Amino acid sequence: MTRLTATFLALIFALSAGAARAQVQTAPEAGFAPPDSGGIQIVWEVRNRFRLFREERDFALQVEAMASGRSVLAAEGALELQSDGRGWARNTVGRLCIDPTGRVNSPCTRDGVKEDYLTPADHAVTVHLAGAVPVGAVCAWTFSDNDAPPIQSTLDCAEPINLRVRYGRTTTASVDVSSGSEAPLHDATPITVRDILIAGLGDSIASGEGNPDRPVALSDDGFCFRSYLEGSTGQYFRPSRKNYKGARACESAPGSTNELFNWQKLGAQWFNAACHRSLYSYQTRAALALAVQYPHIAVTYLPLACSGATIPEGLLGSMRARECLVTKTAMNCAGTVGGQVAELHEALAAAQRRQPERGLDLVFLSVGANDINFSGLVADVIVDSATERTLFQRSGLIGNVEDSRGTLARTLPQNFQRLRRALKPLVGGDLSRVVFVSYANPTLAGGAPCPGGLAGFDIHPAFNARPERLAKTSRFVESEFLPQLKNIVQCTGGTICDGRSDVMTFVDQHQRAFEDHGFCARSQSDPQFDQKCFRADGDSFVTDIVQAAANPLTCGEAASRFRAYLPRARWIRDANDSYFAAMTYPLAARTASQPTDIHDATWGVLSAVYGGAIHPTAEGHAMMADAAWPAAAAILGLPPVEAGVTREPIDPIAPKR
């Protein structure tokens, strides 16, 4: 049995016996107990304090993963190995306080208790006695908030106390310790839970695109796609979806709506399909890290970021949904998603009607890449076939650096000013409470631009990352887009702002780490499947359609052996990763542009890129979270974490309106 497996089994045992007890019995910091307490000390912490999670076992898993001072990145690596690359979120995604449509569950039943998610009335805490506690001592506990009748309990001092304390009030916990003929010992401490409300806004980088909470399950046989060429030369096979019973050949009759529904039921799952929101998002992981690191707070997190969002369409206005919500019995293709700022405003207004002092403490934000048509630049780099390039240029799907440069200079600063004006009232006029986490250059490895070629892009016959186009785009991102975006956010470099209150908190410390982990990074420690089956020469897939129908991989391995969540040198999904992890069919597009056949050439292209090509992996998001959460902690006035989990009391601050 490996050490990791033993740790996992120990965690499961602890959960079955009551995880809260195991969590709180950490040795207190030296010198913390008052001198008249005889060396004993009351220690408390909030249970299941990341309030998006309905069940404490999901939070306990994250606490265990970040134990001993682990970073979010190290924790993600441990969880990836623990899950054999299937991902920790595949189980947690069904146990959230937000439903698949993005609506907050109100009330949300958390650990058997109904709670108002945005305006909690109380919080579950665990209290125990630490320090020089005599063996067999008896503790007489009293808990009082000077309003409700005191709660009293007498039991063995080795036993923790679980109770709920009212939010917005201080509960005094006191204990008298009796042990034989020894003089009684006494200690008391205030319990004040600070509930921090955090919203996540932005685009696909903010939402977690590329990392479905439950990856698509792959079949080992092939599925036929048409290309834009005619005849058998315009057909190619790629891995199918597991358990799909419909026709896999392109020669089959056009599929019915029912066939499409059966196909979609077997797709990847996101906790919000319309926006491709994922628990692996850096925003979710940063909010979660705050909850893990600070036991005296609770974190109420409201995820609103949406893949494909720009400032005008997505942040300030509505936008087209990423894909339909598919249940076991139906597909819901609403088509549009409301503007994120408006949805946040409505949520806050509703919360303040119930709890007037409730305010928004912090916003995580990433936006701007879609505004300059970064997806069009990616298409320009990887779409190589003349036929596809002509078709995509006519439809506006292929962009160019010159147009993006003009948008960056003129349109983006203007739209950012509009966004500032919309966000200011939500954060009390102080935009430093907006933590803007910048993008990383996805095209670098070893500090230099990726060389290009077919590696990672042979999932579609028309793809090939042309070196000259790749180098041009990489230079633009590195020397123009990222520096100018920083100027816009920080009100420098000639950006016109209304003063210091317009300056957001800017985070880009992760960019250096990404210089070694772009989409072309490879390592001998990469998963064996990747090394064997994703070939650098672009010969990963069988071209003979008869053979490919049985197994489309030239390596001979089963496609089902691919694992989306194993440690890799690349922290950026390539097109092969996108297909093998998500294989997205974006049904929420306008009806007129929807193909009628699931083998259609349009879906062949989209399924290769629409689920997260050139987006961070879960490890990439974890690295971004490691850069983001300390900045958030500083803004919130939380004490620095030097090593491990802080146990210092958290000073309350005035609520924001």
- Could you give the C-alpha distances from 314 to 73, 317, 481, in angstroms and in order? 29, 5, 20
Give the pLDDT mean for 39-59. 97
Q: Quick check: 562 pLDDT over 90?
A: yes
The per-residue pLDDT for 589 is 52
User: Using 50, 70 and 90 to split pLDDT, how confident is the model at 642?
Assistant: low
Mean pLDDT of the region 482-507: 96
Total residue count of the chain as it appears in this document: 657
CA angle, 265 then 266 then 272, to 5°: 65
Most confident of 4-13, 222-231, 325-334: 222-231
Helix, coil or strand: residue 248:
coil
DSSP 3-state of 613: coil
So what's the pLDDT on residue 340?
A: 98
Q: For residue 624, what pLDDT band results from cuts at 50, 70 and 90?
A: very high
213, containing H or E segment: none
Tell me: pLDDT of 223 over 80. yes
362, 382 contact by CB (below 8 A): no
What is the arrangement of strands in the sheet containing 151-156, beginning at the earlier edge strand?
Answer: 151-156, 138-144, 171-178, 185-191
pLDDT attached to residue 543: 94
Per-residue pLDDT tens digits for 369-419: 999 999 999 999 999 999 889 988 888 889 999 999 999 999 999 999 999
pLDDT of residue 93 exceeding 50, the answer is yes
pLDDT at 178: 94
- 87 burial level (CB within 10 Å; 0-12, 13-18, 19+): buried
pLDDT band at 332 (very low <50, low <70, confident <90, very high): confident
Banded model confidence at residue 13, pLDDT cuts 50, 70, 90: very low
Comparing 153-167, 246-260, 532-546, 558-572, which segment has the lowest mean pLDDT?
246-260
Strand partners, 43: 128
Extract the tokens encoding 364.
């995580």
Model pLDDT, residue 259 = 83
pLDDT higher than threshold 50 for residue 7: no
**Contact by Cβ (8 Å): 189, 45:** no
In this predicted structure, the answer to whether residue 444 has a pLDDT above a threshold of 60 is yes
Order of strands, sheet of 362-366, starting from the edge strand that comes earlier in the sequence: 297-303, 194-202, 362-366, 434-437, 505-507
Identify the structural domains of the chain with CATH numbers, from first to last.
Answer: 3-192 (2.60.40.10), 198-623 (3.40.50.1110)
- What mean pLDDT comes out for the span 168-191? 93
Please determine, for residue 37, whether its predicted confidence score (pLDDT) is greater than 70: no
Question: What is the percent of the chain with per-residue pLDDT over 70, rounded to a whole number?
Answer: 89
At 597, the pLDDT band (50, 70, 90 cuts) reads confident
Average pLDDT over residues 250-272: 83
> How large is the average pLDDT for residues 607-628?
96
Over residues 300-319, the mean pLDDT reads: 97
Three-state secondary structure call for residue 451: coil
Q: What gap in Å lies between CA 602 and CA 397, rounded to an integer?
A: 12
Q: Which of the residue ranges 18-32, 348-362, 447-461 would you say has the lowest mean pLDDT?
A: 18-32
| Residue-level pLDDT at 576 | 98
* DSSP 8-state assignment for residue 463: B
Q: Of 78-82, 140-144, 178-182, where does mean pLDDT reach its minimum?
A: 178-182
Distance CA(248)–CA(262), nearest Å, equals: 13
Mean pLDDT computed over every residue of the chain: 90
Q: How sure is the predictor about 329, in pLDDT bands with cuts at 50, 70 and 90?
A: confident
Cβ-proximal residues to 35 (8 Å cutoff; 6+ apart), any chain? none
Environment class of 2 (CB within 10 Å of its CB; exposed 0-12, middle 13-18, buried 19+): exposed
Q: Is the model's pLDDT at 645 over the cut of 90?
A: no
pLDDT band at residue 253 using 50, 70 and 90 as cut-offs: low
Question: Given this model, what pLDDT does residue 328 score?
Answer: 78
Average pLDDT for 246-258 = 77
Range 152-169 average pLDDT: 96
Amino acid at site 86: R
The per-residue pLDDT for 333 is 75
Three-state DSSP at 75 gives helix
Q: How far apart are CA 137 and CA 186, in angstroms?
A: 12
Render 363-417 in DSSP notation, one character per residue. Answer: EEEE--TTTTTHHHHHHHHHB--HHHHHHHHHTT----HHHHHHHHHTHHHHHHH
Per-residue pLDDT at 327: 81
The pair phi, psi for residue 380, each rounded to 5°, is -60, -35
pLDDT of residue 648: 41
**What are the angstrom distances between the C-alpha of 279 and each of 56, 102, 135?**
16, 13, 44
Q: Which of residues 320 and 286 earns the better pLDDT score?
A: 286
Band of pLDDT at residue 254, cut at 50, 70 and 90? low
- Higher-confidence residue of 395 and 138: namely 138
In 3D, which of 652, 532, 633 has the Cα closest to residue 293? Answer: 633
Instruction: Quote the pLDDT of residue 234.
Output: 83
pLDDT score recorded for residue 653: 38
How many other C-beta atoms can be found within 10 angstroms of the C-beta atom of residue 79?
22
DSSP string computed for 269-292: B-SBGGGTB-TTSHHHHHHHHHHH
- pLDDT, residue 591, reads 47
Give me the pLDDT at residue 467, please. 96
Average pLDDT, stretch 429-438?
98
**pLDDT the model gives residue 251:** 83
Is residue 23 very low, low, confident or very high in pLDDT (cuts 50, 70, 90)? very low
Mean pLDDT across the stretch 52-76? 96
SS3 breakdown of the chain: % helix, strand, coil, rounded to 5?
Answer: 35, 20, 45
pLDDT of residue 593: 59
Task: Give 501's DSSP letter.
Answer: G
pLDDT in tens, 520-535: 999 999 999 999 999 9
Q: Which two tokens mark 480? A: 């123009």
Query: What local confidence, expressed as pLDDT, does residue 25 receive?
Result: 33
- pLDDT band at 8, cuts 50/70/90? very low
pTM as predicted: 0.91
Comparison of pLDDT for 395 and 469, the residue scoring more: 469
